[in-house]
Structure 1
Amino acid sequence: MKRLLQRIINRDIQLFYLFNHKLKCRLLDLIMPQITHLGGVVFTCSLTILLVVFGQGRLKETGWQVLIALVSSGAVVQIIKTIVARSRPYKVLKEVNIINPPFCMRSFPSGHTTAIFSIAIVFGINFPSLSLVFRMIAGLVGVSRAYIGVHYPSDILTGALIGICFSNLAHGLI
């Protein structure tokens, strides 16, 4: 069991370096820090407030679903971050390309990825013709988290799964 866990950790680190080193280029150095903000508190909360306050009909209903998904998934992420207390890759690995280190020192799971998947899946359910676009944006935000050096792929995957679960629950409630 210990060997299996170590193999998983090693693969996680290898995938991290793939995103953080192998994909590195000037264009992505400009784009990825911007994309990553789509999962941040300012964008996700602003979008949600705008939808709830100013949205009409289906947009307002979608806003309420996003609010439920964001708050509930965000609470779960903070609990897990506190329990697991995994350090961010740039704190423990060598030669990490880091862009704008975050305030929070805990890595697992990715809150940005959780937030954007919470939004993307709710939007995809409510506007199925745009579902692929929303999912692609969410995926890019997830990749950006490893690219800028602040999350391992397992942090990102777990954040995405939490966002997906809470989005589906929120949609079922409203």
Structure 2
Amino acid sequence: MDLDQWLDYLTGLVLGDGYLYHYRKEGKYYVRITDKSRDFLEMLKNELLKIGIRSHIYRQGQKNAYTLEISNKELYYTIKLRTRQLLESPTPHFVAGLIDAEGSLQKPRKGSIRIAITNTKPELLHPIVKILQTICINAEVKPYGKAKHGEKQRYRVVIYGKENIEKTLQAIPLRHPKFHPPARGRKSGNERDPHP
């Protein structure tokens, strides 16, 4: 990936599984990405180092999750500025970041396979649909399940079938190990599935 593609990808990851934080008291700017896979975050850390950006990884308390933290004002503002533009005019690398953050490869029953991308913000899923349409895959954003008391409604986009998944992997540069190679059995962060 060139620098622009890498920044698009990183912006997608941050919107999906991370956040930007400005600690005014100390004048620090943080970019944080959280994931269950430390190997994935180590790969990101090494990629960042190649473009001169240092970062570190720490465990999220007792949770089975890790956070990659970058203290970098320029990157903070770069991602902030790119966000609106990429939501309106998404690129495959931006969408790859969103899917790597919020997607899961699922085998709900023998012989079937799908990629499901879930989020409480439908505006983060519409760019995925746009890019899928460019490779002739029809998908749409739909409500997912019913929100429990105090929860936000979740939405998802689903890519069905081996052929469509292969087409997606060829056009959208997914990097998360959960997509390479295809997982055995159902591995999802979204086990509550009313519509298998």
Q: Which has the higher contact order (CA 8 A, sep 6+)?
A: 1
Same fold (TM over 0.5): no
- Counting strand residues as a fraction of each chain, which structure ranks higher? 2
TM score, norm. by length of structure 2: 0.26
